[in-house]
Amino acid sequence: MKVLAICGAANKNRNTAAMLGSAFDGAMSAVGAAGEFVYLYDLNYKGCIGCHSCKLLDERKFARCAVRDGLTPVLEKAIAADVLLIGSPIYFSDITGETRSFLERYLFPGITYNKDHSPTYPTRTKVGWVFTMNAPGEFYKDFFNGLVTMTSRIIGDSEYVTAYQTQQFEDYSKYAATMFDVPMVKKRHIEQFPKDCEAAFNMGKRLAENVKQMINGTTNSTGSARSF
Ligand SMILES: Cc1cc2nc3c(=O)[nH]c(=O)nc-3n(C[C@H](O)[C@H](O)[C@H](O)COP(=O)(O)O)c2cc1C
């Protein structure tokens, strides 16, 4: 079983990376399998260039991104992954540009322009999203559900966990940032964030256990054949 974590946050030691790390640990605890943690900001790559090579009725090109750059090996690993964990902070009501560029390159070869938009990947990968943000509560729920629906259709069963009203600075007094209720944010960081990380751990563990059961034949795969 292969577990792949894709971190779409710039900072390796802040909220998103920490929470995604918990999800990764959870998945690894369930399987003791091969796992890899990739930081997108370490890679040199761009988003989809719309060349449509991945739609060509040519089996050497079909369903694979033709662009060769720092993302290429990661895309192959993502396609082969049994459990894929993707983490992103919310930047301007969206995932980060790096996460978005990864998704374009990963998802577009995974669908056709056929009438049924049939997926080309085996759609048996379990996907767990991790989102962190400043906003309160359920602010971006529709957005998260939209992303999860998309990856469920193209990649495989998907779910998400969140941490909101995250701590951005150690010392808020050094920044132009009077909009924050600092005591509340600090309290949440101490009391709530560990619980959010625990929820991420449990998600990773659950997804990996689910795949394990599928491999052992106790649940059905939703796999569909790759075809054009
Ligand atoms: C460029 C930028 C844009 C942001 N935009 C939003 C936003 O639209 N909504 C929100 O809730 N938080 C926003 N934030 C806050 C981050 O999503 C939040 O602090 C997140 O937890 C940061 O993740 P990190 O600690 O892993 O870096 C933004 C932060 C940055 C740096």
Closest ligand 1 atom to 90 CA: 17
What separation in Å is there between the alpha carbon of 223 and the centre of ligand 1? Answer: 35
pLDDT digits (tens, 9 = 90+) for 187-205: 999 999 999 999 999 999 9
What separation in Å is there between the alpha carbon of 131 and the centre of ligand 1? Answer: 10
Residue 88 Cβ contacting ligand 1 at under 6 Å: no
Give me the pLDDT at residue 224, please. Answer: 36
Lowest mean pLDDT among 4-13, 120-129, 163-172: 120-129
Give me the pLDDT at residue 217, please. Answer: 82
Residue with CA closest to ligand 1 atom 6: 91
Give phi and psi for 34, each to the nearest 5. Answer: -70, 130
What separation in Å is there between the alpha carbon of 20 and the centre of ligand 1? Answer: 15
Cβ neighbours, 10 Å, residue 84: 26
Percent of the chain with pLDDT over 70: 94
Q: Summarize the confidence of residues 18-23 as an average pLDDT.
A: 98
Among 159, 158, 160, 162, CA closest to 138: 162
Lowest mean pLDDT among 23-32, 47-56, 144-153, 186-195: 23-32
Cβ neighbors of 85 (< 8 A, separation 6 or more) are 3, 4, 5, 6, 20, 23, 24, 27, 127, 128, 129, 130, 204, 207
Give me the pLDDT at residue 220, please. Answer: 52
Residue 133 Cβ contacting ligand 1 at under 6 Å: yes
DSSP H or E run through 213: helix 193-215
pLDDT digits (tens, 9 = 90+) for 71-124: 999 999 999 999 999 999 999 999 999 999 999 999 999 999 999 888 898 878
125 vs 152: CA distance, rounded Å: 9
Domain ranges of the chain: 2-215
Among 210, 193, 166, 152, CA closest to 26: 210
DSSP 176: S
Give me the pLDDT at residue 116, please. Answer: 84
Reported pTM: 0.95
- What is the topology classification, in CATH, of domain 2-215? Rossmann fold (3.40.50)
Residue with CA closest to ligand 1 atom 1: 91
Give me the pLDDT at residue 216, please. Answer: 84
pLDDT digits (tens, 9 = 90+) for 209-228: 999 988 888 665 444 333 33
pLDDT digits (tens, 9 = 90+) for 156-172: 999 999 999 999 999 99
